[in-house]
Amino acid sequence: MTGGRLTEAELVSAWDHALDRPAAHRPLVLLGRPDAERLPVGAVAALLLRTAGDWTGGRVETIMDCPACPERLEVGFTVAELLAAAPSPPTGTFTIDWRGHRLTLRLPTPADLAEAARAGDPAAAERRLLQSCLVAAEPPVAEPADLLPAVSAAMAERDPLGVVAVALTCPACGTETEALLDLPAWAWQAADARVRRLLGEVHRLARAYGWSEAEVLGLGPHRRAAYLEQVP
Ligand SMILES: [Zn+2]
């Protein structure tokens, strides 16, 4: 691994291993750092934006379904504008005051989300996530579920890329809706497209010159492009 940024050969290998993992875990493999699972969700999103942005010309483009009609809505941002809107989230704990209680909290991580998802329904998952991230409450809170709105707001403020909501207006039927932008899923799709293109290039050059996959990927993008121009 080279400082967290994968080489093309490492990307192909990471993609291959990631396909054996659950879908939610796959994007983390692209970061090439073992602590990714324990970073705040928005910090992971920022790293994925930088990594996958290199493969998409710095654009985040995705399609969402209109909830009211068959129209498909195109959503587009630049990586730069998404990163500019998000300061680095705290990796340790932080405190907020809530109705006379002092709450010590930490931001959710991908590991927390994965554990919460095993709780079953969304409400149970939300309670499970709160349990993980509420480090202390002084004095103790009788009904922790009451904290959810205040805690969610405090987390969103400190980790804006943790949950990215996009306001959309359907051009066909005028319905206004709010959709969540799934940055890890976008990053994985970008990696998948990139790897499949690389493997297509390996296939063409291997057939033309008899080179191995490692040799083709080892050429680097410019020499590979020059050889590809020679191949009919
Ligand atoms: Zn519509």
CA of 70 to the centre of ligand 1 (A): 6
Note whether 68 and 170 are within 8 A (CB): yes
Specify if 2 maps to a domain: no
Neighbours of 37 (CB within 10 A): 16
What residue has token string 């499949």?
196
pLDDT beyond 80 at 4: no
CA of 159 to the centre of ligand 1 (A): 31
Closest CA to 78 of 45, 47, 49: 49
**pLDDT tier for residue 53 given thresholds of 50, 70 and 90:** very high
* Residue 60, amino acid: V
Specify if 3 maps to a domain: no
Q: Which domain holds residue 151?
A: 93-158
Which pLDDT value is given to residue 228? 96
Burial of 60 (0-12, 13-18, 19+ CB in 10 A): buried
CA of 222 to the centre of ligand 1 (A): 44
CA of 72 to the centre of ligand 1 (A): 8
For residues 158 and 48, give the distance between their C-alpha atoms in angstroms, rounded to a whole number: 18
CA of 200 to the centre of ligand 1 (A): 37
Specify if 151 maps to a domain: yes
CA of 174 to the centre of ligand 1 (A): 6
Q: What average pLDDT does this structure show over 121-144?
A: 93
Q: What average pLDDT does this structure show over 10-28?
A: 94
Last residue of a domain, one of 158, 183, 210: 158
Look at the chain and report how many structural domains it folds into. 2
Note whether 183 and 45 are within 8 A (CB): yes
CA of 157 to the centre of ligand 1 (A): 31
Task: Say whether both 82 and 173 belong to one domain.
Answer: yes
Task: Say whether both 196 and 154 belong to one domain.
Answer: no
CA of 62 to the centre of ligand 1 (A): 16
CA of 172 to the centre of ligand 1 (A): 5
CA of 177 to the centre of ligand 1 (A): 9
pLDDT beyond 50 at 100: yes
